[in-house]
Copies of this chain bind each other. A is one copy, B any other.
């Protein structure tokens, strides 16, 4: 049994297709077929049920694949250990970022990071929380930045900062006169939210539910970007909530419509998250310290009330 064979098994298990799996492994299909057969023969069991289309894992195949993931992960970490020892920080690193964090946080640290660690090739992807969790688990991402806590057994979190929400109230709205507003002033029916799947939206839904349990079957507009929401709010269609960092980029005229919450401010916890396997920890730590450096001073908030992305709205 070789590590290569296990990698082939994992590739087939993932793609449910020998030909495609072979491509991903940079070998021809017969090579991969033979090696799979060889390990099946050595263990004297069938890992894949080739009679089904697409190909299925057998019961024992499931267990073997899960164990093979362990082994391959642990094996990968050897190179990691060596690089860490050499003090080398480099190589490809795939980072996922949720859409509501990407445009504000990325410009703050990217320049610093690539200057400080020129040998790291960062591959950044905008993904929603569910996609991120999936890709962290199957190894297609090395780490990600998302709202936490996730309370996922297989994922570790390092909190980067707390980002409060700020209300955007159009001029003709009742609450516009208030200097500061309270969570109780919010009404889910008039808040414009991002489209489903964005965890930020889930967070806001929780916020409102905790105050007034309104019925869910109301008229709602769902948009993909905050700019749309701001324009809709200006058109008199309601209010919206913006994460603090987003408010910094607004026009002066729009900033007048922002209202801070009274303390404890509702806020989201933003963390660097990565799989428990802890591969490429040097780069993860480099990211953490770089972001911590730029964030320090930019967003320091205490006495905030964390809105968890966890509890999804009732379906």
Contact = CB atoms under 8 A, between A and B. Distances in A.
Contacts of A67: 74, 77-78, 81
Interface string A70-88: 1100110111011001100
A79 B67 CA distance: 10
Interface string A83-126: 00110000000000000000000000000000000000000000
Contacts of A59: 85
Interface string A34-75: 000000000111000000000000011001100110110011
Interface residues of A, number: 24
A30 to B, nearest CB: 21
B43 A79 contact: yes
A78 B2 CA distance: 12
Given A2-B3, A3-B2, A45-B85, A68 B64 contact: no
A37 to B, nearest CB: 16
Given A43-B82, A82-B60, A85-B59, A74 B77 contact: no
A1 interface: yes
Nearest to A4: B2
Contact of A82 (B45, B74, B75, B86): B45
A85 to B, nearest CB: 5
Number of this chain's copies in the assembly equals 2
A63 B83 CA distance: 12
A63 B45 contact: no
A85 B71 contact: no
Nearest to A44: B82
Contact of A1 (B63, B75, B86): B75
A36 to B, nearest CB: 14
Contacts of A1: 3, 75, 78
A63 B82 CA distance: 9
Given A2-B2, A81-B63, A45 B86 contact: yes
A88 to B, nearest CB: 10
Contact of A78 (B44, B71, B79): B71
A188 B81 CA distance: 52
Contacts of A45: 82, 85-86
Contacts of A43: 78-79, 82
Given A43-B78, A71-B71, 11 more contacts: A44-B82, A59-B85, A60-B81, A60-B85, A63-B81, A64-B81, A64-B82, A67-B74, A68-B78, A71-B78, A74-B74
16 contacts: A1-B3, A1-B75, A1-B78, A43-B78, A45-B86, A60-B81, A60-B82, A63-B81, A64-B81, A64-B82, A67-B74, A67-B77, A67-B81, A70-B74, A71-B71, A71-B74
